[in-house]
Amino acid sequence: MAARDGVEEYRTLAERPAPEVTLGAGWRALRLSSVVAGLVPVLMILQAVLGRGAAGDGPDAGLAGTAALTWAGCVVGPAVLSRFPRVFNYPTMLTSENVQRLYRLGTLTMILVAAGCAVTLWGMTAALGLPTGWLSWVGVAGLAAAVIWAVRASLRA
Q: What is the block-wise mean pLDDT of the chain (157 residues), using blocks of 10 residues? A: 76 90 95 95 85 59 83 96 92 89 95 95 84 92 94 85
In a domain, 52, yes or no: yes
How far apart (Å, rounded) are the C-alpha atoms in residues 125 and 67? 9
Domain membership of residue 84 (yes or no) is yes
* Domain assignment of residue 44, yes or no: yes
The CA distance from 148 to 125, in Å, is 27
Residue 32 lies in a domain: yes
* Helix, strand and coil in the chain, % to nearest 5: 70, 5, 25
Judge whether 126 and 136 are in contact, CB under 8 Å.
Answer: yes
Number of separate domains in the chain: 1
Q: Does residue 5 fall inside a structural domain? A: no
Partner residues linked to 3 by β-bridges: 8
Range of the domain at 114: 22-156
pTM, to two decimals: 0.87
